[in-house]
Amino acid sequence: MRKIVPTEWKKKIRHWLLDFDARIDSTLFSTGKGARELYERYSTFMDRFYVGRWKRWVFIEPLSEAATIGLGGLILMLALAVPAFRETADEDWLKKSDLAVSFLPLRQSDRQPRHQA
């Protein structure tokens, strides 16, 4: 009976697959080690900015609350401005008759010059 894959090829294929598996394992391990090192560096860097005790309650918490409430206010203002945006979305929104100005006649008392004392 004839062999489809020669024995020496099988040996080369097994060695190649083992080498490929080892390279994948090594790459994953190196990547994990590097990611851990980056996280430790980042964590150490961010520890410099720690604010605790009274400074946190006097400065950081009020600023955080102000930023949160301010953002909520900006979102509310944007929501209330949507109808105005829709109204002015047309190209000829300034030429509409809704924006006409009417002048009222002056009263007689407004026409007379005032005397300076």
Residue at 116 is within a domain: no
CA 100 to chain centre: 42
Stated as kind and residue range, the H or E segment containing 45 is helix 7-47
Residue at 34 is within a domain: yes
Query: Per-residue confidence at 55, pLDDT binned at 50, 70, 90?
Result: confident
- Our count of domains for the chain comes to 2
Boundaries of domain holding 27: 7-50
Residues 41 and 21 in one domain: yes
Residue at 79 is within a domain: yes
- Cβ–Cβ < 8 Å for 72, 64: no
- Measured distance CA(117)–CA(111) in Å, rounded: 19
- Cβ–Cβ < 8 Å for 51, 59: yes
Residues 17 and 32 in one domain: yes
Residue at 82 is within a domain: yes
- Measured distance CA(102)–CA(40) in Å, rounded: 71
pLDDT digits (tens, 9 = 90+) for 59-114: 999 999 999 999 999 999 999 999 988 888 877 777 666 666 777 777 766 666 66
pTM equals 0.46
Residues 62 and 40 in one domain: no
